[in-house]
Amino acid sequence: MKKILYSLLFFFLIGNVNAQQTPADKQTSAISIEGATAHLGNGEVIENSLIMFNDGKITFVGSAMLKIARQGTIINAKGKHIYPGFIAANATLGLVEIDAVKASDDEDEIGLLNPHIRSLIAYNAESKIVESMRPNGVLMAQITPRGGLVSGTSSIVQLDAWNWEDAALKVDDAIHMNWPGSFTRGRWWLGEDPALKADPKYSENVESIKSYFANAKTYLAGNIEKTHLPYKAMKGLFDGSQKLFIHVNGEKEITDAVTTAKEAGIDNIVILGGEGAESVADLLVKHNVAVVLNRPHRNPNSEDDAYDYTYTIAKKLTDKGILVSIGMEGAMERMNTRNLPFYAGTFAAHGLDKEEALKLITSNTAKILGIDDMAGTLEVGKDATLFISDGDALDMRGNILSKAYIQGRDISLETHQTELWKRYSEKYKSK
């Protein structure tokens, strides 16, 4: 009875709030933005730039000093900045609306081994949390499942759509696995010692993963008479069409994860979390393994880490030649995803070059997610997914958007939060 009442309450609340704004119409005429400082997303910067796009694609990127005819509507952006749309990796946007309401939580599926579960079909394009990303320049995201040993598949979406079909940029890009830790703590509520100690079952857990990979590979190589959905879903890992994203921290764990995947014949590997990755950088470079770091605004996991470890690790890995991005996993991750540019700004404030930091949420992320042919940089032929900011978009003081476009569509920057801000600004202004 309680479940029924809670479900009715949830739908009552949902029915009495405004839905997301209507997605923008397709671009019908060319647009030329001139005079702004263009941050191309690949490390290059063009002062006094000219960016033109039509039919959703960028048609020109260069200096405004060139004598070239402007196309369509001309936007004077002198003194402002242009960026490619930011991309949030390893996010659960659209999978959970209200944490306390189970009916709106669809990030975690029952069971431990779910490579066949697809996060995309659970993605809610009308989520109020999703729309709150856009005013900070976060225009695309990798929607990722959580839970279990093998969580399921992620997909890449743009954040202004009617439904998940319209939102999809790349479908089922990767399968996500949560690697076991080699250390564990006792369950204090059962009287066990809560101190950190080696997990005696770690080797057994690793062997079970190896067996699962081997069984899946054998199934796919044989004469398939009976359908086994989980094994069938892993085909892309072995033929190279999908990546394996391994959520793992720790030097030993990362080494074991990469070695196990390689021995199983899986070549496209990405590490998520990555604490301790700097200690095994040579292994990651050798196997061309990218790292999606957790958000820097947190404490280090180990007591032996430097106080600023989470702020400096991006530079350490970048300097070693590893492709690095930023993921959103952690406490209040959906709401905090809007702070993606400021996480990159934190890495920039702790040693990483500002344009290199920008790459963590643009070109690097696009390469890791396999969408660099359409997004991640301001280049001719790519999607016109970009925005104009009054100042430095990696600094919350300068990240003030005046225009944003997704595939050339002039999208709304209004959200429930901006409406409340304007409402109460007027209230207190009158007093």
Structure-token pair, residue 93: 């946007």
Residues 256-268: what's their mean pLDDT?
Answer: 96
Lowest mean pLDDT among 11-15, 43-47, 103-107, 183-187: 11-15
Say whether pLDDT at 431 is over 60.
Answer: no
Residues whose CB falls within 8 Å of the CB of residue 106, separated by 6 or more in sequence, listed in order:
95, 96, 122
Tell me the percentage of the chain whose pLDDT exceeds 90: 79
Q: What percent of the chain has pLDDT over 70?
A: 95
Examine the pLDDT at 122 and tell me if it is beyond 90.
Answer: yes
Which pLDDT score, from 0 to 100, does residue 19 have?
A: 53
User: In the prediction, which pLDDT does 29 show?
Assistant: 96
For residues 109-115, average pLDDT: 93
Mean pLDDT of 101-108: 86
pLDDT at 6 (0 to 100): 47
How would you write the chain as a 3-class SS string? CHHHHHHHHHHHHHHCCCCCCCCCCCCCCCEEEECCEEECCCCCEECCEEEEEECCEEEEEEECCCCCCCCCEEEECCCCEEEECEEEEEECCCCECCCCCHHHECCECCCCECCCCECHHHCCCCCHHHHCCHHHCEEEEEECCECCCEEEEEEEEECCCCCHHHHEEEEEEEEEEECCCCEEECCHHHCCCCCEEECCCHHHHHHHHHHHHHHHHHHHHCCCCCCCHHHHHCHHHHHCCCEEEEEECCHHHHHHHHHHHHHCCCCCEEEEECCCHHHHHHHHHHCCCEEEECCCCCCCCCCCCCCCHHHHHHHHHHHCCCCEEEECCCCCHHHHHHHHHHHHHHHHHCCCCHHHHHHCCCHHHHHHHCCCCCCCCCCCCCECCEEEECCCCCCCCCCCEEEEEECCEECCCCCHHHHHHHHHHHHHHCC
Q: Span 65-90, mean pLDDT?
A: 96
Find the mean pLDDT for residues 24-32.
96
90-375: what fold? TIM Barrel (3.20.20)
pLDDT tens, position by position, 186-245 = 888 888 888 888 888 999 999 999 999 999 999 998 877 788 999 999 999 999 999 999
Assigned CATH for 24-85+377-431? 2.30.40.10
Q: Average pLDDT of the chain?
A: 92
Indicate the domain borders of the chain.
24-85+377-431, 90-375
Rounded to whole angstroms, what are the CA distances from 79 to 52, 63, 384, 390?
18, 14, 21, 7
24 pLDDT above the threshold of 70: yes
Task: Inform me whether the pLDDT recorded for 99 exceeds 70.
Answer: yes
**pLDDT confidence tier of residue 289, bands split at 50, 70 and 90:** very high
> pTM for this one?
0.92
User: Which pLDDT score, from 0 to 100, does residue 354 have?
Assistant: 97
What the block records as the tokens of 23 is 């997605």
Q: Strands 196-198, 183-185: parallel, antiparallel or unpaired by DSSP? A: antiparallel
- pLDDT tens for 388-404 read 999 999 999 999 999 99
Q: What is the mean pLDDT of residues 330-334?
A: 90
**Ramachandran angles phi, psi of 221, nearest 5°:** -85, -15
> For residue 35, is pLDDT > 60?
yes
* Predicted confidence (pLDDT) per residue in 147-201, tens digit: 999 999 999 999 999 999 999 999 999 999 999 999 888 888 888 888 888 888 9
